[in-house]
Amino acid sequence: MSDLPKLTVIVPCRNEEKFISQCLESIVHNDYPCDRLEVLALDGMSEDETWRIIESYSTKYSFLRGLRNTRRITPAALNIGIENATGEIVCRVDAHASVPSDYLRTCVEALLESGADNVGGDMRTLPSNSGLTARGIASAMSHPFGVGNSPFRNSQLAPMWADTVFGGCYRKHLFERIGFFNEGLARGQDMEFNRRLCDAGGKILLDPRIKSSYFASPDLRSFWRHNLLDGEWAIFPFVHSNVIPIRWRHVAPLALVATVIVLASGVLLTPSSLMGLCILSAVYLTLGILSSIHIASREHEWRFVLLMPVVFAVRHIAYGLGSLIAVLSLLRRFLFARHPFRRAYNLPR
């Protein structure tokens, strides 16, 4: 490992007192040489104990520093981290994540061996607590019916070229060519950056040797809120980017919710609307029940047969409603605002 390049790990966080210690512990106890490691924890002006926890780690570990992110949003944290990074390679680790001891070394080795511009691996979604609902939410976020064909959420058997990966490990000079993360996107900035990377001829490698864990929402209320915001930010990037930053799987919930609303609105007018609504509902429920049985069998927890259809519905309806809200918001801006789609980002640095 004597020839490994210097690595900077960037950890964006805000109000993460429940998770930041576990995240930083997993990073500082990696087997990457400490004399070639730099950890930058970017705190978005937290209102809880996050900053105090970061300071305690920076006192204990000389290669770890805490920096303030006054804009509070993730892309700003990433950009501040990149600007302050002294490493040749930059690796992102989210505060909700925990990584195994070989994670950083495996990322760097895969990046150097493959010639890729960005590498990542499988993400295992874990429950935030031992409760049935928390375990069900984690299961939904690692099942194709819950997340579609997202490669890094569905375990891969062999390395593959992908459209995006969780976290990401990049050569620092890449940002001089592609630009920085889009600060107009409070969410989804990684997908938008990776799309720009691919459009510029870059390659993204998903290597299953690279493992990480991510803690999902603990209850249905927070799960609803999280998916509502994710749904909104599946649409807003269209007016904050020069590329199409999402895939078909990201607009499928919008199509579902919009179709249900249209068919339900037409029930009193045409019999065919009622038939269409019944068929759509039957197909969705069948897929949800079959997926729930599959998860219940896999997890040896038959209560999931009753819980999982509810979890899936919360996931899809909240995400679809969030996207619909965003569409209506953009339509209102287009019709009534003076400068409806003025872009709000600055990619170069």
For the chain, the structural domain boundaries read 7-217, 248-336
The pLDDT of 208-213, averaged and rounded, is: 88
CB 69 within 8 A of CB 76: yes
Distance of CA 151 to the CA centre of its chain: 12
Q: In terms of pLDDT, which residue wins out, 305 or 190? A: 305
Rounded alpha-carbon distances, angstroms, from residue 264 to 252, 260, 275: 18, 6, 10
Kindly report the backbone phi and psi dihedral angles of residue 67, in degrees, each rounded to the nearest multiple of 5, phi listed first.
Answer: -125, 150
**Residue linked to tokens 């003025």:** 342
Q: How confident is the model at residue 348 (pLDDT cuts 50, 70, 90)?
A: very low
pTM of the model: 0.79
Q: In terms of pLDDT, which residue wins out, 112 or 159? A: 112
Q: How confident is the model at residue 317 (pLDDT cuts 50, 70, 90)?
A: very high
Gap between the Cα atoms of 210 and 99, Å rounded: 9
Residue 169, both tokens:
């490990």
Q: How confident is the model at residue 2 (pLDDT cuts 50, 70, 90)?
A: low
Q: Residue 45: its pLDDT value, please?
A: 95
Gap between the Cα atoms of 116 and 169, Å rounded: 10
pLDDT surpasses 60 at 225:
yes
**Residue linked to tokens 């997202």:** 150
Gap between the Cα atoms of 75 and 17, Å rounded: 20
pLDDT surpasses 90 at 89:
yes
**Which superfamily does 7-217 belong to?**
Spore Coat Polysaccharide Biosynthesis Protein SpsA; Chain A (3.90.550.10)
Q: Residue 241: its pLDDT value, please?
A: 64
Predicted confidence (pLDDT) per residue in 127-149, tens digit: 989 999 999 999 999 888 988 76
pLDDT surpasses 80 at 340:
no
pLDDT surpasses 80 at 349:
no
pLDDT surpasses 90 at 191:
no
* High-pLDDT (> 90) share of the chain, %: 64
What is the DSSP annotation of 227-269? HHHHHHTTTGGGGS-SS----HHHHHHHHHHHHHHHHHHTTTT
Q: Residue 337: its pLDDT value, please?
A: 62
pLDDT surpasses 80 at 80:
yes
Q: What's the chain's average pLDDT?
A: 88
Q: Residue 153: its pLDDT value, please?
A: 57
**Long-range Cβ contact pairs of 148-154 (< 8 A, separation 24 or more):** 148/249, 148/252, 149/249, 150/249, 151/206, 152/120, 152/121, 152/122, 152/123, 152/206, 153/123, 153/125
Q: In terms of pLDDT, which residue wins out, 157 or 214? A: 214
The pLDDT of 273-283, averaged and rounded, is: 92
pLDDT surpasses 60 at 260:
yes
Q: Residue 344: its pLDDT value, please?
A: 44
Q: How confident is the model at residue 314 (pLDDT cuts 50, 70, 90)?
A: very high
Q: Residue 11: its pLDDT value, please?
A: 97
Q: In terms of pLDDT, which residue wins out, 238 or 285? A: 285
Q: In terms of pLDDT, which residue wins out, 188 or 264? A: 264
pLDDT surpasses 70 at 324:
yes
Q: Residue 157: its pLDDT value, please?
A: 65
Distance of CA 317 to the CA centre of its chain: 19
Residue (of 75, 104, 89) closest to 12 by Cα position: 75
